[in-house]
Amino acid sequence: MPQTLASVLLIGLSLYICAIDIRSHRIPNASILGMTIVLIYPNHSLDLPSASFSLLLIWTFGIFSNLGMGDLKLLTALLLLQGEILLRPITLTIGVLVITFMIAIHFIVNKSLKGDIALAPAILIPFTMAYLTN
């Protein structure tokens, strides 16, 4: 039962974060904290050297590519608590497919690639799918 509740909370928080990010291009800190609490157990974290290197890559890429701080904080929380799931090839592959879809939708709506694109769906849809099938 506790795992079922955690799964329901994860789905609810993921949908909430995606909706907020699509609408306002913001990810509230409280929702990242909620996600952190839900994902504390079971822990699928990486070993310290792998986690450190991955965080360095994510933050370096994020800063130089002008990713939003909410996206970086969300990725950090997921990486530290569930890095093994986040960095699975299938999770990354689905993430690329979702971000491609998000870019296409953005282009169709705005007739340009200029402007902000919500990344929470590209992060959370594949992560949640992989986490729930774990």
Q: How confident is the model at residue 72 (pLDDT cuts 50, 70, 90)?
A: very high
Q: How confident is the model at residue 113 (pLDDT cuts 50, 70, 90)?
A: confident
pLDDT in tens, 20-47: 999 999 999 999 999 999 999 888 999 9
What average pLDDT score do residues 40-56 get? 93
| Residue with the larger pLDDT of the pair 1 and 78 | 78
Cα angle, residue 57 at apex, residues 77 and 23 outer, rounded to 5°: 50
What average pLDDT score do residues 63-81 get? 95
Number of domains in the chain: 1
- Residues with Cβ within 8 Å of 78's Cβ and at least 6 positions away in sequence, in order, are 35, 39, 86, 123, 127
Buried residues in 27-37 as b, exposed as e (16+ CB within 10 A): beeebbebbbe
Quick check: 27 and 73 in contact, CB under 8 A?
yes
Candidates 119, 22, 7, 109; CA nearest to 62 is: 119
Residue 66 sits in which domain range?
2-132
* Percent of the chain scoring above 90 in pLDDT: 84
Q: How confident is the model at residue 112 (pLDDT cuts 50, 70, 90)?
A: confident
* Percent of the chain scoring above 70 in pLDDT: 99
| Residue with the larger pLDDT of the pair 107 and 3 | 107
Claim: this prediction has a pTM higher than 0.85: yes
Candidates 93, 78, 74, 80; CA nearest to 131 is: 78
